[in-house]
Amino acid sequence: MTHFDYRDGELFAEDVPLSRIAEAVGTPVYVYSETALTDAYRRFAGALAEAGLDARVCYAMKANSNLAVVRALAACGAGADVVSGGELARALAAGVNPAEIVFSGVGKTGDEMRQAIAASIGQFNIESIPELERLSEVANATGATVNVAVRVNPDVDADTHHKISTGRHHDKFGIDIDRAREVYDRAAALPGIAPVAVAVHIGSQLTDLSPFRAAFTRVAALVHELRADGHDITTLDLGGGLGIDYGQQSPPDPRDYAAIVADTVGDLGCTLVFEPGRYLAGPAGVLLTEIIYVKDGETRSFAIVDAAMNDLVRPAMYDAHHEVLAVRQPNPDRAPHSYDIVGPVCETGDTFATQRDLPVLEAGELVVIRDAGAYGAVMASGYNSRLLIAEVLVRGSGFSVVRARQDIAAMLAQETLADWQT
Ligand SMILES: *Cc1c(COP(=O)(O)O)cnc(C)c1O
């Protein structure tokens, strides 16, 4: 059940025909299914609970930080994993419990630390000694003591795209696991720092579970060592990374993931924190776009759509595969035609998909790019002075615009001429 299915000859989001959203809101537009979001949350959290784990799910907001998306997950009980002051502000605005906010990222500024301490967030995941020392200074100046996890780098290859693999020793993330014990000793000596947790996150879009097993096994050994060193480790943050099916992979089942967690770290008596992003948001969104022109070349047909790489950069940036569906249900009696689905931006990389069999398409028809709910809208830019597009949340037979399309006046209002030019 994807919540994006054909009914009466056309594609729906839950109980809403996508054509109705296009008519009301225009295209291109991101469309999210609230039920898909909350179902994914329940599958993930349910698998952990079934495995008998004491788990807290902190949604990795960088996947999709729209307030309505965060609110839908917070309403199910999700906390948040934030990576900037902006995401922290969104988490609070969406109603996430501050005690269930984890602050990740390699480059937190002093201002962001102050903002997070003022909000009384639950945990800081630190990634270097200079960052630990800065956090100590900031916390100490406010009289606070903050819960800290050191993000360790377990030197495990996540076997995913190199731009989203984070747990190898040459990646910029975390502190080498071999150096972790001295870092915890240092942390314990610093004022304002309570080093009570260990964090790990080895990459994104993992479709094979064995790197998780390798990483969690190393982390479990570290917890025993840290406890022997006298540190009171109560919490393990196992990061995110669970992959989804973009149409070519068979994604791991969260129950198998939970079994590996139980197997490797289940007997440590720790509260476990998870930071899924893509798994929750990816399949819950589509990018709905209208065909502007169909251009038949010598060897290829191009469907030129009104969405572009600035709206969804994953194909250009990660060579990502996304399924493309026509909103009008294909007629099984008519032969399909092969298309390259491309945007209007002046870059060859502005190609969403190549050589896809689709029903014969005409200008004015709608197509969707599937599984665009994560790392889609959040990575959008204004390249080519294209306006940031709208986002819509669907629930049942209702839908609501949860981010308005930017307009030209707003775009121009952000800039001014220099003093001497006016
Ligand atoms: C990106 C990231 C996540 C989320 O990763 P997904 O693959 O979207 O689940 C979680 N934790 C950290 C530290 C991250 O950088």
- Which sequence spans correspond to the domains of the chain? 4-32+282-413, 65-276
Cα of 171 from ligand 1 centre, angstroms:
15
Cα of 32 from ligand 1 centre, angstroms:
20
Q: Is the pLDDT of residue 409 over 90?
A: yes
Using one digit for the tens of pLDDT, what is the confidence trace for 15-32? Answer: 999 999 999 999 999 999
Q: Give the start-end residues of each E strand in 268-328.
A: 271-274, 285-296, 301-305, 324-326
Ligand 1 atom closest to the Cα of residue 282 is: 8
Cα of 104 from ligand 1 centre, angstroms:
9
* 193-199 and 146-153 beta bridge pairing: parallel
61 CB-near residues (< 8 Å, 6+ apart): 70, 80, 81, 82, 83, 87, 90, 91, 277
Using one digit for the tens of pLDDT, what is the confidence trace for 260-317? Answer: 999 999 999 999 999 999 999 999 999 999 999 999 988 999 999 999 999 999 999 9
H helices present in 129-277, as ranges: 129-142, 180-189, 210-228, 254-265
Ligand 1 atom closest to the Cα of residue 276 is: 9
- CA distances for 356 relative to 4, 160, 245, 292, 343, angstroms: 19, 24, 17, 18, 15
Report d(CA 29, CA 403) in Å as an integer. 10
Instruction: State the catalytic residues.
Output: 346
Instruction: Please tell me the predicted confidence (pLDDT) of residue 297.
Output: 84
Ligand 1 atom closest to the Cα of residue 374 is: 8
Instruction: Please tell me the predicted confidence (pLDDT) of residue 348.
Output: 86
Q: What is the mean pLDDT of residues 47-72?
A: 98
Average pLDDT, the chain: 96
Judge if the beta carbon of residue 62 lies within 6 A of ligand 1: yes
Minimum CA distance residue for ligand 1 atom 3: 240
Which amino acid belongs to residue 344? P
Instruction: Please tell me the predicted confidence (pLDDT) of residue 159.
Output: 75
Judge if the beta carbon of residue 240 lies within 6 A of ligand 1: yes
Using one digit for the tens of pLDDT, what is the confidence trace for 206-264? Answer: 999 999 999 999 999 999 999 999 999 999 999 999 999 999 888 899 999 999 999 99
* Domain 4-32+282-413 identical in fold to domain 65-276: no
Judge if the beta carbon of residue 278 lies within 6 A of ligand 1: yes
Cα of 275 from ligand 1 centre, angstroms:
6
The residue behind tokens 């919490």 is 235
Judge if the beta carbon of residue 105 lies within 6 A of ligand 1: no
> Would you say 60 and 90 are in contact if contact means Cβ atoms under 8 Å apart?
no
3-state SS, residue 292 = strand
Query: What value does the CA radius of gyration of the chain take, rounded to a whole number of Å?
Result: 23
Cut 0.95: pTM above it:
yes
Q: Which of 275, 280, 314, 379 to mutate to test the pocket of ligand 1 (most atoms within 8 A of CB)?
A: 275
Judge if the beta carbon of residue 314 lies within 6 A of ligand 1: no
Q: Which of 37, 44, 62 to mutate to test the pocket of ligand 1 (most atoms within 8 A of CB)?
A: 62
Judge if the beta carbon of residue 241 lies within 6 A of ligand 1: yes
Cα of 239 from ligand 1 centre, angstroms:
6
Instruction: Please tell me the predicted confidence (pLDDT) of residue 79.
Output: 98
Closest of 33, 106, 105, 91 to residue 58, by C-alpha: 91
> Would you say 184 and 231 are in contact if contact means Cβ atoms under 8 Å apart?
yes
Judge if the beta carbon of residue 275 lies within 6 A of ligand 1: yes
Q: Is the pLDDT of residue 193 over 90?
A: yes
- CA distances for 347 relative to 289, 318, 351, angstroms: 19, 15, 9
Judge if the beta carbon of residue 310 lies within 6 A of ligand 1: no
Angle at 107 between CA 104 and CA 110, to 5 degrees: 95
Using one digit for the tens of pLDDT, what is the confidence trace for 105-132? Answer: 999 999 999 999 999 999 999 999 999 9
Q: What is the mean pLDDT of residues 42-52?
A: 98
Minimum CA distance residue for ligand 1 atom 10: 240
Ligand 1 atom closest to the Cα of residue 278 is: 8
Q: What is the mean pLDDT of residues 154-174?
A: 79
Instruction: Please tell me the predicted confidence (pLDDT) of residue 1.
Output: 61
pLDDT band, residue 170 (cuts 50/70/90): confident
Cα of 278 from ligand 1 centre, angstroms:
8
| Number of C-beta neighbours around residue 221 at 10 A | 12
Q: Which of 56, 57, 61, 81 to mutate to test the pocket of ligand 1 (most atoms within 8 A of CB)?
A: 81
Report d(CA 187, CA 41) in Å as an integer. 34
The fold for domain 65-276 equals TIM Barrel (3.20.20)
Instruction: Please tell me the predicted confidence (pLDDT) of residue 298.
Output: 86
Q: Is the pLDDT of residue 171 over 80?
A: no
Q: Give the start-end residues of each E strand in 28-73.
A: 29-33, 55-60
Match domain 4-32+282-413 to its CATH number in 1.10.287.3510, 3.90.1150.10, 2.40.37.10, 3.20.20.70. 2.40.37.10
Mean pLDDT is lowest, of 165-169, 272-276, 335-339, 357-361, for 165-169
